């Protein structure tokens, strides 16, 4: 080829390449100018004009920039539309806010949010997973979306893009310093109670914002102007510190586990519109931590394996040193039940790191689960948790222990076990015994945080006489589950030896942990697990130690709070026998030791409550319905009425122990040293409470319903007849307690003639006007008229005759209201 031609071709190519580069540079410049022009048109500024060199930056999930008192989020584009959990908690609280049942660490709101871009704004959207389309390809998913439009919590102007346009800068100062109800620690009820007028902006500010790899933590100081604050009334305001935790939820939710009501778990619900069922299919998943074995193969072989990420609880830095040992034991007591599920060291207790060890540590940081020790006079402990609503995965939890709860346990220990337990007969309970009680309470609350609700049937698993057997109680405790409200062994009698009086873990706890937490190899969907989960239940079906009883079953004598043993009449008889011994000795154990009546007064009041609980356990037998949760392939029915003989015996017991005045409760050695009057009123209120409970509309309704399913039953007529005879059996002169109780009976008859059954859960209400209630009450009142007239003729005591005459007038007004 001619060299000139080659040279010309080379020059032409070079010029073309140069022209191409020039055009690209010009194009990029033009594009940049267009972007800048667009930013300007949308109110955006250059990044360096917003986030200046004076800004302090904290790297993490978002970059958080601070300039003087302004805070900016630099939100990466790749986090937009991702699900995040926003949890609002009280970090510091004024005295007595919420009546003492709120504290530092109390959660006030929990919601899933996502950041979304709309034109020149960033929207913070609140998301719900209660109604979903689990089949992403199903066409109905669009209908679910448009019929469940997600509300916008806040809209932010986009101030700038970062230099490479991969992140958006917004100002969050106003958002976190305004009175936004979703972030506020004051509910509408509290605002009304304390007459809150408004947020005082001059005394409210952002305390700090810290960014971590998966979460951002915000602390705000809020002061509200209030006319009636809970404390420091002269200030006329309420100040509290809030903590907002925003954590990125896992991209792939944990595989959920379908709930089975025969095993007790807290749950999350979803309505799946993409289900193949001919309806919107409600799915209920259990709430649980994500535990995955480090060595899946060894786990599948049945070996104990540590989890990839154990559950870790830190102790509040404010925890008294002498109690730390017991709190740690209470947490790690759950290691044994987790071994039943194949995990070792699944749950661990640690001291909170010191400032030197970790200056970033905060109990409010959602990355940490903490046992909070609250300096409060409230007597309580709770175990709340935060979970992913998409799957039920528990993300974090805080156990709350209120300082004065120790007092509750000392008092109940003395009252319920003092007769049979000499070490409980003191106001200065031994530290190791208090520690053991605290250990079990902490373990109970940790159980809630692991996903377990109360199992009120667990204490019904054991025979009453077993509680007097030292070997049995040492091995089995006082309930088949720590999650029952069975605190103490109040059945054991003086002279019984080697008795365990305090609750402990039981066989149900290991069973429930295995059912909820064991990884089922090969199961890749919740539905694929069901066969195995059902098999585990059926293996234990019929054994009362593995039964779950719902706390809401107020009609079921098998599932009662604070009860122990499988025979309420026998258990309460033992309990009251012990309580009589305690009442006789209470002054010696209190005022004689302290030369002060304060403890006597406090314990006497609580003793009345203990007696009342024992009585209530027997009342539940009457009109009682046993609830035994089961599937159709199991024999027997879910609901069965308590047998007639047990109900009759229960009413007779109530007549003997409640309606015949329990005068031992009004011991002059006690009452005349703690109050100048009111003894008769105290007894009246106690007797009336149980009388009206026994003759309540819902109980009568269940007795009426029994006629439809049984041939030999304790009827509503039987109940009224036995109760009336018990209340009106005394002859001759009546004392003030008997007169009060009889008036209470007649007054309650009046309320039954006009009362309406309130709406309750399915089957729990009925039309009283169209039922037999009014006719039974009318018949009872007419019978009572004859009884009262006869008794009136048989007494010469003036006050008793006045009383009977008054009763006749009251009965006449009920039967003839228009006279």
**What are the tens digits of pLDDT across the range 35-88?**
454 445 567 899 999 999 999 999 999 999 999 999 999 999 999 999 999 999
Let me know: does 301 contact 281? Beta carbons within 8 Å. Answer: no
Domain boundary among 248, 266, 299: 248
In a domain, 316, yes or no: yes
pLDDT at 565 over 60: yes
Q: Is 211 exposed, middle or buried (0-12, 13-18, 19+ CB in 10 A)?
A: buried
Which residues are CB-contacts of 177 (< 8 A; sequence separation ≥ 6)?
201, 204, 205, 206, 220
| 279 band by pLDDT with thresholds 50, 70 and 90 | low
Are residue 317 and residue 202 in the same domain, yes or no? no
Are residue 333 and residue 353 in the same domain, yes or no? yes
Q: In the sheet where 160-161 sits, what is the strand order?
A: 56-58, 63-67, 70-76, 167-171, 160-161
| 379 band by pLDDT with thresholds 50, 70 and 90 | low
H or E element that contains 313: strand 311-315
Are residue 34 and residue 63 in the same domain, yes or no? no
The pTM for the full model equals 0.85
pLDDT at 797 over 60: yes
| 15 band by pLDDT with thresholds 50, 70 and 90 | very low
Which residues are CB-contacts of 82 (< 8 A; sequence separation ≥ 6)?
114, 115, 248, 249, 251
Read off the pLDDT of residues 578-588 as tens digits, 9 standing for 90 and up: 999 999 999 99
In a domain, 209, yes or no: yes
Read off the pLDDT of residues 311-347 as tens digits, 9 standing for 90 and up: 999 998 888 899 999 999 999 999 999 999 999 999 9
Read off the pLDDT of residues 639-688 as tens digits, 9 standing for 90 and up: 999 999 999 999 999 999 999 999 999 999 999 999 988 889 999 999 99
Q: Give the mean pLDDT of 423-429.
A: 95
Token pair of 654 as six digits? 């109530």
In a domain, 364, yes or no: yes
Cβ–Cβ contacts within 10 Å for residue 206, how many? 18
Q: What are the residues facing 350 on neighbouring strands?
A: 314
Q: Give the mean pLDDT of 287-299.
A: 96
Output the CA torsion sign for 190, 192, 194, 199.
positive
Q: What angle do CA 41, 44, 45 make, to 5 degrees?
A: 115
pLDDT at 499 over 80: yes
Distance CA 43, CA 12 (A): 46
**Minimum mean pLDDT among 344-353, 548-557, 761-770: which range?**
761-770
Cβ–Cβ contacts within 10 Å for residue 119, how many? 7
Let me know: does 693 contact 619? Beta carbons within 8 Å. Answer: yes
Domain boundary among 221, 248, 275: 248
Let me know: does 98 contact 190? Beta carbons within 8 Å. Answer: yes
Q: What pLDDT does residue 274 have? A: 57
DSSP 403: T
pLDDT: is 109 or 265 the higher one? 265
Q: What pLDDT does residue 761 have? A: 47
Distance CA 795, CA 623 (A): 36
Q: What pLDDT does residue 138 have? A: 54
Are residue 235 and residue 365 in the same domain, yes or no? no
Q: What pLDDT does residue 228 have? A: 86
pLDDT: is 148 or 102 the higher one? 102
Are residue 32 and residue 113 in the same domain, yes or no? no
In a domain, 741, yes or no: no
H or E element that contains 312: strand 311-315
| 7 band by pLDDT with thresholds 50, 70 and 90 | very low
79: phi then psi, degrees, rounded to nearest 5: -100, -5
pLDDT at 32 over 50: no
pLDDT at 127 over 90: no
Q: What pLDDT does residue 11 have? A: 41
Domain boundary among 195, 218, 248: 248
Let me know: does 298 contact 269? Beta carbons within 8 Å. Answer: no
Are residue 28 and residue 55 in the same domain, yes or no? no
E strands, 620-771, are: 625-627, 639-641
In a domain, 624, yes or no: no
pLDDT at 744 over 60: yes
In a domain, 63, yes or no: yes
pLDDT at 143 over 80: no
Q: What are the residues facing 219 on neighbouring strands?
A: 208, 243
| 549 band by pLDDT with thresholds 50, 70 and 90 | very high
Q: What are the residues facing 374 on neighbouring strands?
A: 402
331: phi then psi, degrees, rounded to nearest 5: -70, -50
Distance CA 547, CA 262 (A): 7
Are residue 373 and residue 238 in the same domain, yes or no? no
Are residue 71 and residue 2 in the same domain, yes or no? no
pLDDT at 497 over 70: yes
Read off the pLDDT of residues 212-223 as tens digits, 9 standing for 90 and up: 888 999 999 999
Q: Three-state DSSP class for 594?
A: helix
Are residue 207 and residue 221 in the same domain, yes or no? yes
Are residue 377 and residue 316 in the same domain, yes or no? yes
In a domain, 183, yes or no: yes
| β-bridge pairing 369-374 and 394-402 | parallel
Are residue 84 and residue 101 in the same domain, yes or no? yes
Are residue 243 and residue 391 in the same domain, yes or no? no
Cβ–Cβ contacts within 10 Å for residue 775, how many? 10
Distance CA 556, CA 621 (A): 8
Q: Give the mean pLDDT of 234-250.
A: 90
- Count Cα atoms within 13 angstroms, Cβ side, for 706: 26
Read off the pLDDT of residues 470-490 as tens digits, 9 standing for 90 and up: 999 999 999 999 999 999 999
Q: What pLDDT does residue 380 have? A: 63
Q: What pLDDT does residue 360 have? A: 81
Residue with tokens 């661990």: 348
Q: Give the mean pLDDT of 728-733.
A: 93
Q: Give the mean pLDDT of 711-725.
A: 95
114: phi then psi, degrees, rounded to nearest 5: -145, 145
pLDDT at 563 over 50: yes
Overall domain count for the chain: 3
Q: What pLDDT does residue 554 have? A: 85
In a domain, 239, yes or no: yes
| 145 band by pLDDT with thresholds 50, 70 and 90 | low
Output the CA torsion sign for 517, 521, 524, 527.
negative
pLDDT at 155 over 90: yes
Q: At what angle do helices 679-694 and 598-619 cross, to 10 degrees?
A: 20
Let me know: does 264 contact 455? Beta carbons within 8 Å. Answer: yes
Token pair of 519 as six digits? 């990884």
Q: Three-state DSSP class for 548?
A: coil
Let me know: does 426 contact 383? Beta carbons within 8 Å. Answer: no
Q: Which domain holds residue 31?
A: 1-41
Distance CA 98, CA 193 (A): 9
Mean pLDDT estimate for the chain = 88
């Amino acid at each position: 080829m001619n060299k000139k031609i080659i040279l010309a071709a080379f020059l032409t190519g070079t010029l073309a390449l140069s022209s191409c580069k020039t055009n690209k540079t010009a194009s990029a410049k033009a594009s940049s100018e267009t972007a800048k022009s667009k930013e300007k048109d949308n109110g955006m500024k250059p990044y360096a004009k917003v986030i200046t060199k004076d800004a302090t930056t904290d790297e993490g999930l978002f970059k958080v920039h601070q300039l003087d008192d302004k805070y900016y989020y630099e939100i990466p584009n790749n986090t937009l539309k991702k699900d995040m959990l926003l949890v609002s908690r009280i970090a510091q609280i004024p005295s007595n806010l919420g009546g003492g049942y709120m504290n530092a660490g109390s959660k006030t709101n929990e919601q899933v949010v996502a950041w979304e871009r709309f034109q020149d704004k960033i929207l913070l959207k609140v998301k719900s997973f209660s109604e979903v389309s689990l089949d992403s390809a199903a066409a109905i998913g669009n209908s679910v979306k448009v019929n469940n439009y997600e509300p916008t919590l806040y809209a932010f102007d986009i101030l700038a893009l970062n230099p490479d346009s991969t992140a958006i800068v917004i100002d969050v100062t106003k958002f976190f310093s305004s009175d936004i109800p979703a972030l506020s620690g004051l509910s509408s009820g509290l605002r009304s109670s304390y007459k809150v007028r408004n947020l005082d902006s001059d005394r409210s500010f952002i305390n700090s914002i810290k960014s971590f790899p998966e979460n951002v933590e915000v602390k705000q100081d809020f002061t509200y102007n209030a006319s009636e604050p809970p404390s420091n009334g002269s200030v006329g305001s309420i100040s509290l510190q809030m903590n907002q935790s925003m954590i990125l939820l896992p991209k792939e939710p944990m595989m959920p586990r379908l709930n089975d009501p025969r095993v007790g778990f807290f749950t999350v619900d979803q309505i799946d519109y993409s289900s193949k069922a001919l309806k919107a299919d409600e799915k209920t998943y259990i709430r649980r931590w994500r535990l995955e074995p480090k060595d899946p193969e060894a786990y599948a072989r049945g070996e104990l394996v540590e989890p990839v990420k154990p559950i870790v609880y830190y102790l509040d830095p404010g925890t008294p040193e002498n109690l730390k040992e017991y709190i740690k034991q209470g947490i790690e007591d759950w290691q044994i039940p987790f071994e039943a599920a194949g995990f070792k060291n699944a749950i661990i207790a640690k001291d909170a790191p010191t400032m030197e060890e970790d200056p970033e540590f905060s109990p409010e940081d959602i990355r940490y689960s903490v046992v909070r020790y609250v300096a409060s006079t409230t007597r309580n402990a709770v175990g709340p948790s935060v979970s992913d609503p998409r799957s039920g995965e528990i993300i974090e939890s805080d156990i709350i222990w209120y300082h004065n709860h120790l007092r509750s346990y000392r008092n109940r220990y003395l009252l319920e076990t003092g007769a049979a337990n000499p070490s409980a007969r003191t106001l200065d309970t031994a530290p190791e015994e208090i520690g053991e009680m605290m250990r079990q309470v902490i373990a109970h609350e940790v159980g809630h945080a692991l996903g377990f609700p109360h199992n009120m049937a667990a204490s019904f698993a054991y025979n009453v006489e077993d509680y007097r057997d030292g070997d049995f109680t040492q091995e089995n405790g006082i309930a088949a589950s720590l999650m029952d409200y069975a605190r103490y062994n109040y059945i054991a009698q003086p002279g019984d030896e080697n008795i365990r009086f305090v609750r402990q873990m039981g066989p149900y706890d290991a069973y429930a942990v295995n059912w909820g937490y064991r990884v089922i190899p090969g199961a890749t969907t919740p539905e694929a697990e069901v066969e195995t989960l059902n098999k585990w239940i059926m293996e234990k079906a019929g054994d009362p130690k593995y039964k779950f009883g719902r706390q809401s079953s107020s009609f079921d004598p098998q599932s009662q709070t604070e009860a122990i043993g499988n025979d309420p009449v026998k258990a309460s008889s033992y309990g009251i026998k012990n309580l009589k011994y305690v009442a006789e000795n209470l002054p010696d154990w209190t005022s004689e030791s302290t030369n002060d009546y304060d403890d006597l007064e406090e314990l006497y009041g609580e003793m009345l409550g203990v007696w009342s609980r024992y009585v209530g356990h027997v009342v539940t037998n009457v009109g009682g319905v046993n609830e035994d949760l089961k599937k159709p392939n199991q024999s027997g029915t879910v609901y069965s009425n308590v047998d007639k003989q047990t109900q009759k015996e229960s009413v007779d017991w109530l007549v003997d122990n409640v309606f015949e005045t329990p005068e031992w409760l009004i011991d002059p050695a006690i009452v005349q040293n703690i109050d100048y009057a009111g003894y008769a009123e105290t007894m009246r209120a106690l007797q009336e409470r149980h009388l009206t409970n026994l003759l309540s509309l819902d109980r009568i309704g269940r007795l009426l319903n029994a006629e439809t399913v049984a041939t030999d039953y304790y009827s509503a007529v039987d109940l009224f007849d036995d109760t009336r005879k018990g209340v009106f059996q005394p002859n001759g002169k009546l004392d003030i307690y008997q007169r009060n109780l009889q008036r209470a009976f007649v007054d309650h008859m009046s309320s039954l003639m006009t009362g309406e059954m309130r709406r309750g859960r399915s089957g729990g209400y009925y039309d009283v006007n169209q039922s037999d209630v009014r006719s039974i009450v009318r018949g009872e009142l007419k019978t009572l008229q004859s009884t009262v007239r006869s008794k009136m003729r048989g007494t010469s005591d003036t006050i008793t005759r006045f009383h009977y005459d008054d009763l006749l007038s009251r009965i006449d007004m009920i039967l003839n209201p228009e006279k």
